[in-house]
Each structure stands twice: as C-alpha cells, then as structure tokens.
C-alpha cells in the first residue's frame, strides 16, 4: 500500500510523533489527513493548518467511530504516556489507553478501514533480559515469556495481541512498531512527561543560564538506552505501514549509551561541564535496553541512521530557543 492518495486518520495527532507524522503525510500527497487528539487544540504540540484537526476523547467508542469515518488508513499513536517518571507513577492511567486501541480497532473494522497502525513500545520486553547495563540488544521474540514494564508495557503488549487477532479473525491488516525512546524537536521538555534526552537538554540549559553548575540525574547514570531521532521514526513508520510485515517490529536505534554519556553529549553541545548529583531514589526503569535491528534490516531493507550526537544537537537548539522565548 502506498500512502499517497489515501484518506488518513492520525490518532494522537496533537502529540509529538503524531504531529510530525501528519506533516509528513500531507507533504507526501495523502488525499486528506484528519488529526485527532484529546487535548484542546491550543495545547497541541504541532498543528497542520491543511489537516482536519478534531478534538475527541478516543477512550469512548462513539468518538472512535467519528474519528475513523471515511478513512482508508488509521494510525493509532494515542495514549496516556510520558517518560519513566510518569510511567512508573501512573500505571492505571497508562493501562486505560487499552480503551483507545479497543474502540479504534472495532470502529476501523466496522468502517472498512484498509490498514491499521499501532504504536507499541520497547517497554513490552521481558524485564529479566534488561537487568544489566551491558544489555544484549533486544530481538522481537524477547517480548515472551511476558514480563513487560508494569502498567504501560502490559497495555502495549496486550494491544499488540489484539491487533494480531483482529487481522486473523476479521481480516483487518495491522502493522505494529515497537518504538525505542523517540526524541527530537517539538517533543515535551518540561512538565513531567518529557523523556531523557529532552530532560537532560533542559537541565543543562537551566544550569548554564543560572550559573548553578549542577545537574540532577535520575539513578546512578550507568543505566543504558538507545534513542531514536524523530526523522528515523517517521521513515521507519511509513516503510512498515506500506509493507506486508504484519508482526511487531523494532523501530529503534542500536546506538547504546549510558545516561552519563548522554549528559556528556549535552554538556559538549552546551560548552559546559557540570557537577552531577545522582538522585538514586528516582524512577530510572530497567538497567539496560537496546534495539536489535536484524529483523527490520531483513524485512524493510532499512534501519535508523541518525547519530545520537547529531540528533541531540538539533533537539538541544530547539529547546534552547523555546526556553529563551519563555525567559524573555
């Protein structure tokens, strides 16, 4: 399936990834794009004037029916989520996102939607395989036996299975991406839902501006992750959606770094060196997580290519510009 000429609905279209995706689809000659989000439009992270922008609560079945009406393709990027602090402290809210996927799948089937996309997460992976910072990169089969991140990870894993069975039982073609820590411009960088790259950039900027010369780091800084730049996320998402691959697939960078190394990069970009204060009782998630890209290279002939240092520099400058505006 080529997305050009299709009638596309982006659920979560007022969010970080959804806003970027809508712009890409419009630039790629989608017939029309409808962006749907729960937040008032004034709070959307991005808004495309040429899209149909609709505020709906997709936890409700009637709202999902309204959202997908007339659509050929549905992207479900909608969920109640954020960084590790939000995920660990709001497990029930994260799990309530299962209502969104349940009602969207049902509405999409009834509306005759031709293809459905579900944004899953690396949080579905078995925690036993992520105990060491020197983690072996996670393959798609490492989600089972199931021991995902409590709350958020369970919702994502359950929703993957629901997509699978809607395709098997009802013939609704589904595509599922397991995103690994997506970052970039227009993402949250304050307020509690930001992820590590944006949070660290903000903290470095604050320290540089105030002259405080300290940065607080959650955990001991030795925990490791890979981070996926938004442009790679969008490219992988579109390639997967247009492909015949109907199994969950990693969409993530395999450039593994520690949080301390991530801080090193942000300090280098800022031209400062800061004293590190480790908050050992703060939420820090698993000790190590990385993406094995063997399957995405085999099935899509592609893998993410943006170096973390390069993507972080763009993200840092975007956040710094917004913070200068707030300060002024």
What tokens were used for 110? 């009834």
Cβ atoms 77, 119 nearer than 8 A: yes
Write out pLDDT tens, residues 45-78: 999 999 999 999 999 999 999 999 999 999 999 9
How much is the pLDDT for 206? Answer: 96
How much is the pLDDT for 88? Answer: 86
How much is the pLDDT for 156? Answer: 98
User: Do 7-182+228-251 and 184-225+256-290+307-323 fold alike per CATH?
Assistant: no
pTM assigned to the model:
0.95
Where along the chain do its domains lie? 7-182+228-251, 184-225+256-290+307-323
DSSP state of 16: H
CATH superfamily membership of 7-182+228-251: NAD(P)-binding Rossmann-like Domain (3.40.50.720)
Q: 184-225+256-290+307-323 domain in CATH 3.90.25.10?
A: yes
Whether 179 is catalytic: no
Its sign, for the CA torsion 144, 146, 150, 155, is: positive
How much is the pLDDT for 263? Answer: 98
Write out pLDDT tens, residues 214-249: 999 999 999 999 999 999 999 999 999 999 999 999
125, 144, 152, 183: the catalytic one is 152
How much is the pLDDT for 54? Answer: 98
How much is the pLDDT for 143? Answer: 98
CA distance 185 to 73: 26
Any idea which residue has 């411009």 for tokens? 185
Its sign, for the CA torsion 149, 67, 58, 159, is: negative
Cβ atoms 296, 302 nearer than 8 A: yes
* 3-state SS assignment for residue 296: helix
Question: Residue 28: how many CB atoms within 10 A of its CB?
Answer: 15
What tokens were used for 264? 């090193």
Q: Which residues of the chain have pLDDT under 50?
A: none
Q: Which of 67, 121, 116 is nearest to 94 (CA)?
A: 121
């Amino acid at each position: 399936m080529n997305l050009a000429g299709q009638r596309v609905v982006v659920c979560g279209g007022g969010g970080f990834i959804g806003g970027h995706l809508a712009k890409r689809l419009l630039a790629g000659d989608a017939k029309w794009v409808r962006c749907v989000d729960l937040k008032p439009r004034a709070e959307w992270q991005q808004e495309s004037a040429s899209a149909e922008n609709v505020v709906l609560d997709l936890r409700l079945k009637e709202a999902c029916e309204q959202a997908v009406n007339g659509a050929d393709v549905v992207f479900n990027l909608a969920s109640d989520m954020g960084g590790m602090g939000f995920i660990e402290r709001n497990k029930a809210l994260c799990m309530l996102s299962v209502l969104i996927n349940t009602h969207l799948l049902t509405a999409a089937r009834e509306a005759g939607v031709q293809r459905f996309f579900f944004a899953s997460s690396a949080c579905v992976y078995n925690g036993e395989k992520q105990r060491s910072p020197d983690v072996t990169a996670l393959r798609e089969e490492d989600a089972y036996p199931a021991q995902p991140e409590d709350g958020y990870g369970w919702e994502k894993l359950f929703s993957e299975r629901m997509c699978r069975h809607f395709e098997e039982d009802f013939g609704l073609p589904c595509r599922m991406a397991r995103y690994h820590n997506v970052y970039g411009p227009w993402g949250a960088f304050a307020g509690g839902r930001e992820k590590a790259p944006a949070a660290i950039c903000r903290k470095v900027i604050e320290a540089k501006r105030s002259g405080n010369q300290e940065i607080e780091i959650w955990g001991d800084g030795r925990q490791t992750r890979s981070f996926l730049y938004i442009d790679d996320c969008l490219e992988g998402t579109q390639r997967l959606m247009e492909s015949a691959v109907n199994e969950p697939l990693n969409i993530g960078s395999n450039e593994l770094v520690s949080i301390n190394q991530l801080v090193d990069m942000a300090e280098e970009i800022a031209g400062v060196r800061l004293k590190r204060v480790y908050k050992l009782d703060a939420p820090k998630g698993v000790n190590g997580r990385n993406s094995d890209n063997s399957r995405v290279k085999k099935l899509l002939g592609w893998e993410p290519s943006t170096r973390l240092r390069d993507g972080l520099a763009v993200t840092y400058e975007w956040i710094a510009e917004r913070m200068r505006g707030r300060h002024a």
